[in-house]
Amino acid sequence: MSETVSSIHAVILFYGSIFAAGVVLAFNIYAMNYFKSEPFLAIKQRIANYVADCNALNEHITDLRNTYASMRKTDYGEATYQNISQYKYKKSGYANYKSKPNIVEVSKTVCDGARRQPFKYICKYFNIAPTEETLEQFEDVLNNFIAAEDGKVLSERTRTDILRSIRTEVPWIINNFFGARLAREVGFQPYSFSSVYFPTYSFRYISSGGKSGSQFDITFDIPMLERFIGYLGDVVKFKKSATGQRRLMTPKLRAFIIERDGHTCRICGNSTMEEPNLLLEVDHIIPIAKGGLTAEDNLQCLCWKCNRSKGTKVV
């Protein structure tokens, strides 16, 4: 009896799998034909400009995230290393420690010191001079990182709104089984907005035998970057000017400038009242690269399109 039940069960599974495969094939054929149909092509053409704007915003966000990577780095030259010792001694455990960018090999004392005073040791061991120029560079990085994080939210919301606007025109099968393909077919470019772009500085100690060690990492996410800018500002100690004490770029200052300008772009006049998913950025009227300061009278609210086209021009 049990063998009969098992045989029936096997037959059901066999024909069930054939039926499922047939359904999948039928759905795929249906989708292939639909995405070539005139009704879908008409939808795609109608929303093309909105999709293109969303893709352009994603490219802009990527540029903002790469601000730190594009900061000027000092070229110290290159050298070739050879181990010419008689016994070719190698630390037995060293292979377990993998190298990565922005990492420095230090003594245990230095590694412990970096843990207690990370900003001080970052400046010393990564050649970051606590000067006004350096401070302005990191302020620019912070400003762009915050805009990138805001842009991530707005981009996803815009993409969702566009797809939702056509949902009633798209067949149920496409909406429920081919959502990712639908996004690709209408023209959305693939993108990935992770937080891995935040720079990390690492201090690493490895014992002489390579069997023990420690590593201390400092990741410059937005809160940590804001604290580092505050540290640099305290070290530099700016003198008061005719316009008063120089202000540091902070999330609070960015929010103040956007609120002061009525959530409206100072160039094109577009605002979040007209376009709720509009990415607004805080721009230096006189760019930092040309000596502009982070001061209220040198900051303005721009939409991401105007800010991107402005570049280093004074507008």
What angle is formed at CA 155 by the lines to CA 150 and CA 161, rounded to 5 degrees? 130
Matching residue, tokens 């981009």? 155
**Domain boundaries of the chain, sorted by first residue:** 238-315
Q: Predicted confidence band at 208 (pLDDT cuts at 50, 70, 90)?
A: confident
Q: Predicted confidence band at 192 (pLDDT cuts at 50, 70, 90)?
A: confident
Q: How far is the CA of 201 from the CAs of 101, 210, 214, 270, in angstroms?
A: 8, 21, 14, 39
Sign of CA dihedral 288, 292, 295, 300: negative
Dist CA 44 CA 162 (whole Å):
11
The yes-or-no verdict on residue 298 having pLDDT over 50 is: yes
What pLDDT, on a 0 to 100 scale, did the predictor assign at position 241?
44
Dist CA 137 CA 229 (whole Å):
10
Report for 6-20, 63-77, 214-228: range of highest mean pLDDT = 214-228
The yes-or-no verdict on residue 197 having pLDDT over 60 is: yes
| pTM exceeding the 0.85 threshold for the entire prediction | no
Dist CA 154 CA 258 (whole Å):
16
Assigned CATH for 238-315: 1.10.30
CA 18 vs. chain centroid, Å, equals 45
Structural contact between residues 307 and 282, judged by C-beta atoms closer than 8 angstroms = no
Sign of CA dihedral 288, 291, 293, 298: negative
What pLDDT, on a 0 to 100 scale, did the predictor assign at position 240?
44
3-state SS string over 38-100? HHHHHHHHHCHHHHHHHHHHHHHHHHHHCCCCCCCCCCCCCCCCCCCCCCCCCCCCHHHCCCC
Residue 170: DSSP 8-state? S
The residues near 14 (Cβ < 8 Å, ≥ 6 apart) are: none
What pLDDT, on a 0 to 100 scale, did the predictor assign at position 69?
80
What pLDDT, on a 0 to 100 scale, did the predictor assign at position 314?
60
Closest CA to 300 of 281, 274, 279: 281
Q: Predicted confidence band at 195 (pLDDT cuts at 50, 70, 90)?
A: low
The yes-or-no verdict on residue 41 having pLDDT over 60 is: yes
Sign of CA dihedral 215, 219, 223, 226: positive
pLDDT tens across 137-186, in order?
899 999 999 999 999 999 999 999 999 999 999 999 999 999 999 999 99
Closest CA to 308 of 265, 274, 271, 276: 265
pLDDT tens across 73-126, in order?
554 455 454 444 444 445 554 445 455 568 898 998 998 899 999 999 999 999
Q: Residues of 107-125 as b/e, b for ≥16 C-beta within 10 angstroms?
A: eeebbebbeeebbebbbbb
What is the residue-averaged pLDDT of the chain? 83
